Copies of this chain bind each other. A is one copy, B any other.
Amino acid sequence: MQENFNMEELMDLLFTRQFRKLKDILTEMNEVDIATFIEELDSEKTVVVFRMLPKELASDVFACLEVDKQEHIINSITDYELGTIVDDLFVDDAVDMLEELPANVVKRVLKNARPDTRKLINQFLNYPENSAGSIMTAEYVGLKQSMTVEQAFAYIRKNGVDKETIYTCYVMDAKRRLEGVVTVKDLLMNPYEEIIGNIMDTHVIKAFTTEDQEEVADSFQKYDLLSLPVVDHEERLVGIVTVDDVVDVMEQEATEDFEKMAAMLPSEKPYLKTGVFQLAKNRIAWLLILMISSMITGGILAKYEAAFAVIPLLVTFIPMLTDTGGNAGSQSSTMIIRGMAVGEIEPGDLFKVLWKELRVGIIVGAILGFVNYVRLVILYPGKEMLCLTVVLSLMVTVVIAKTIGCVLPIAAKVFHMDPAIMAAPLITTIVDAVSLIIYFQLACSLLGL
C-alpha cells in the first residue's frame, strides 16, 4: 500500500536534526502513519522521535506500535511518562500489549498505572484467550433510562472525548445491567425533551465475556454492527467490542485456518517476527504424522512389488494418479472447510454436499479420463488394457477423492474436531493409499498379474 506521507522527507529532517520542523509535521499526521515511521527507526532515534510527540498523540501512536518497539520505549522512559501513557491507553490496547511483554516489564507497567486502571487491566487480562472478554474494551458511554436526549448529549459532550466509540450508547439500570442501546443517530433524530427510555432499542444484540471471538465476528457481520456490548453472566455490562478489533480478529482467524490447512500449528506472531525454532516447532508435528502415514502407503505398494516387477511401466503412472487424486480431494475439502468456517455449510447439509460432489467428481473424472486415454493410446499403441487400467483407476480415484474430501471435514465437525485439519495434506495422504489400492487391484484383474 502507498504511504500517506513522505517517509524520505521525515528521515531527512531527523538526520539533519531539524527537530522543530519534524515535530510540526508529525503533529499534523495520522497516528498510524507516525507509528509506521517510528517502526523504521533504530532504538536511539525511536525515543527521540517519540518524546517529540504531544502527550495525547504520544499514547495514540504508542498503541499503534509493534510490541517490541513498545517494550523498548517502556524501558527508555520515566515512570511518570509511563504512567501517563498507560492511563491514556484503551484497556483493550493495554491488554494486547501486556499479554506479549515479559513479566518484569508487565510488573513495571502495572505499578505505574492508576489503581483503577490497574484493577481493570488485571480483570481483563483474566478473560480466556480468544474470548469476547479478551478483545473488549471498557471505554463506552453509559446512559440511564430516565435521562432526556438533552441530558444525554450533555453527558456525551462531557465524557465522550476518551471513549472508543460514542455513536452507540448503552443504557443500564442501577446494577449496571444492560437495558437497551441508543445511537447518536437516534438522539439526533429525536427532540431534546424525549426520554431515553422511550427511544432506546431493547432488543440488544450482545455477547457474553466467555463467548468465542469468532462468534462475536459472526454477529458483527450478520447484523452490520459498529460495536457490540459484552455482559457477564449476571447480564451486567462489562465492556464493548468495536468493529476495528473485529476486522483484526477476522484476519487472524483466516490466517489460522490457512496455517492449519497447510498442516501447521497456528503461530501467534507475524511470520517475519517468528523465530526459526518456533517455525520449525509449528511445522514438525504434522510433517511427522503425515510422513508416518505415508509409510503405510509405501507398505501398500510393497504388497504389489510382484506386479511392478513384471510391468515396471506401471510405476510411472503413480505420480499422475496420486497427485490428481490428491488435488481433486483437496479442492472439495477446501470448499467444505471454508463453507463451514463462514457458516454457509452445516453438518446437516452432508447429503446435499455429497450428492453435489459425486456429480462433480463424475464430470471432472470423465474429462480427465478422456484426455488421458487419448494421450495413452497414442503413446503406448497396442497396450489397450494398460491404458484402460490407468484411465479407469484415475476416474474411480477422482470420484472417491471428492467423496472423501467432502465427508471428512463434515465428520470432523460432527465429532467436535476442527474441520481445518481435514485439508489438503491429510486428504492427499489418504487418497494416495486409496488410489494405489484401486490401481493395482485393477491392474491385477485387467492385466492378469
Contact = CB atoms under 8 A, between A and B. Distances in A.
Given A247-B246, A319-B297, A425-B327, A364 B280 contact: yes
A334 B290 CA distance: 17
B276 A363 contact: yes
A297 B295 CA distance: 20
Contacts of A30: 203, 205, 223
Chain A contact residues, majority secondary structure: helix
B323 A290 contact: yes
Contacts of A317: 298
Interface in A261-319: 261-264, 270-272, 276-277, 279-280, 283-284, 286-288, 290-291, 294-295, 297-299, 301-302, 305, 308-309, 312-313, 315-319
Contacts of A54: none
B301 A318 contact: yes
Given A323-B429, A327-B290, A344-B270, A338 B189 contact: no
B203 A226 contact: no
Given A276-B363, A291-B372, A330 B250 contact: no
A356 interface: yes
A391 to B, nearest CB: 12
Q: Copies of this chain, how many?
A: 2
Nearest to A402: B283
A255 interface: yes
B338 A153 contact: no
Interface in A345-367: 345, 349, 352-353, 356, 359-360, 363-364, 367
11 contacts: A157-B188, A221-B248, A247-B250, A258-B337, A262-B331, A271-B345, A283-B331, A297-B319, A298-B319, A309-B309, A327-B425
Given A287-B368, A428-B428, 16 more contacts: A167-B185, A221-B247, A247-B247, A250-B254, A261-B334, A262-B335, A270-B339, A272-B339, A283-B328, A291-B368, A294-B323, A295-B320, A298-B319, A302-B316, A319-B322, A424-B424
